[in-house]
Amino acid sequence: PKLCHIINITHNNPLIHFLQLLTIFLQEVSNILWAYIHKSNQRNSKVLDFHHPHQLKAGLEGLNMELPDQPETLEQILVDCRDTLKYGVRTGHPRFFNQLSSGLDVVGLAGEWLTSTANSNMFTYEVSPVFVLMEEVLLKKMQNIVGWLEDEGDGIFCPGGTISNLYSILLARYHFYPEVKTRGMGALPQLALFTSEHSHYSLKKSAAVLGLGTDNMVMVKCDERGKMISAELEAAIVSTKKKGLVPIYVNATAGTTVYGAFDPLNDIADICHRHSLWMHVDAAWGGGLLISDRHRMKLQGIERAWSVTWNPHKMMGVPLQCSAILVKKRGLLKECNELGAEYLFQKDKHYDVSYDTGDKSIQCGRHVDAFKFWLMWKAKGSEGFEAQINKCLENAEYLYDQLQRRTDFKLVFDSKPEHCTVCFWYTPPSLRCLPAGPEKEAKLHQLAPWIKARMMEKGSAMVGYQPLGGKVNFFRCVLSNPATQQEDIDFLLDQIVQLGQYL
């Protein structure tokens, strides 16, 4: 039956009418979602149906973004649902290589639906008893995988890796200067923090947000592979002390955003120990490799960190958002953030109030990000996650091997990828005979944006590009979707050649 049939029927009982209407509406929404999921896994379907912003704003086939004064029909609401998905990007498509978070896990999706249906808030046990306990189970499991002892460790799920990294600096500052909570930054000396020049921009952003200043986030030099040079870190710490600043914090990256590089964690831990600095590891991208016996050695030394960022919505394929900040010192999160609002965190409740997690957070309302992750772990087991992660890294190695064999492509760096990111240039026939120099570099710089634009207009695939340092625009292919097969990688290279060979 159609919605219009239900609406037009006269019912003596309005409640029955409402329940029938609701049932049909949700069934129709479910049909739209399942059709979208089915299409996202078909290689002959488009990754996106691209339109420019002015085209979408003008309205396409019933897609009207303006908000009405009067309610619209449920049929129109279904049209809006359908069109929203139609003109969006299918990040679960096997040929979406654009971002670190991709794939479409059906169990994770079911977890997201259940979470939204429950509509719970994670600030107290009384409101979210099951979800709070599930979060605790997940955090303990992740702390154990990092390598911390059973009596160590705390953590919380956050709205993304940027906020998780912000927590790490917030905690480091409070650990060394707890008076900052009440007296503010004016009571503190000028602090210095350190991270690599290849680290995520959220570190500088956090320094700005917390009033520490971006100039006091010292960017440490990296080698050609994108790894922090430990000797440069030591020199930067010594130099900063001579300038009268007080170093407190070092961020090491496990899986850089662009090159997928892993900083030398043990060397950095040694330096932090010598200088009594807080060591944080941003493993938002690379943390998933800890699940793999084959690849976890790339994060050797992470157990020595004082805090860790880990985003299961990246390598583990959990639907956005799902990010955790893990903290080695138990109780520090609460000490740093607790304000004890009496309308939420009463001490005389009839249950163990240590399970009221809201005072560990800088938020009040907090979304349930743990359940979909917990449900996926139940469905896959650790072995399933390991196989999924290994598959993604095998795909990266396959792309690397293909690029090495071809003369029309060039790798940005020659070494084998450590992670699921592969960076390369395509050189069309017209540029191969040009001598190296500014003219060739300028033309090569324009190539990747042009090819990507044509690719998006066709809807055939999506892949990122960017410049870095003195390097002109190169393709940055991310292989974090376990649905991607070798044929999809071959297709991407063929598309690049097809679109760019006559330029």
pLDDT tier at 201 (50, 70, 90 boundaries)?
Answer: very high
**Calpha distance 263→275 (Å, rounded):** 18
Kindly report, residue by residue over 96-118, the tens digit of the pLDDT. Answer: 999 988 889 999 999 999 999 99
DSSP string over 45-97: S-SB----HHHHHH-BTTB--SPPSSPPPHHHHHHHHHHHHHTSB-TTSTTEE
**Calpha distance 422→404 (Å, rounded):** 12
Give the number of other CB atoms < 10 A from CB of residue 273.
Answer: 11
pLDDT tier at 280 (50, 70, 90 boundaries)?
Answer: very high
Question: Under a CB-based contact definition with an 8 Å cutoff, are residues 462 and 402 in contact?
Answer: no
Side by side, the strands of the sheet bearing 421-426 are: 96-97, 462-468, 471-478, 421-426, 409-411
Q: Give the 3-state secondary structure of residue 471.
A: strand
For residue 316, give the nearest of 371, 256, 388 by alpha carbon: 388
Would you say residue 494 has pLDDT above 90? Answer: yes
Question: Mind listing the domains of the chain with CATH numbers?
Answer: 14-90 (no CATH), 121-367 (3.40.640.10), 380-501 (3.90.1150.170)
Q: Give the pLDDT score at 9.
A: 46
Would you say residue 87 has pLDDT above 50? Answer: yes
Would you say residue 369 has pLDDT above 80? Answer: yes
Whole-model pTM: value is: 0.93
**Calpha distance 122→139 (Å, rounded):** 14
Q: Residue 18: what are its φ and ψ, rounded to 5°?
A: -65, -45
Where is average pLDDT lowest: 63-72, 216-225, 303-312? 63-72
Q: Residue 162: what are its φ and ψ, rounded to 5°?
A: -60, -45
Cis-peptide, bond into residue 321, ω within 30° of zero: yes
First and final C-alpha spacing in the chain: 54
- What is the DSSP secondary structure assignment for residue 253, as one 8-state letter? E
Kindly report, residue by residue over 226-235, the tens digit of the pLDDT. Answer: 999 999 999 9
Please name the residues in contact with 373: beta carbons below 8 A apart, sequence gap of 6 or more: 108, 111, 138, 312, 316, 318, 322
Where is average pLDDT lowest: 14-28, 39-53, 133-147, 189-203? 14-28
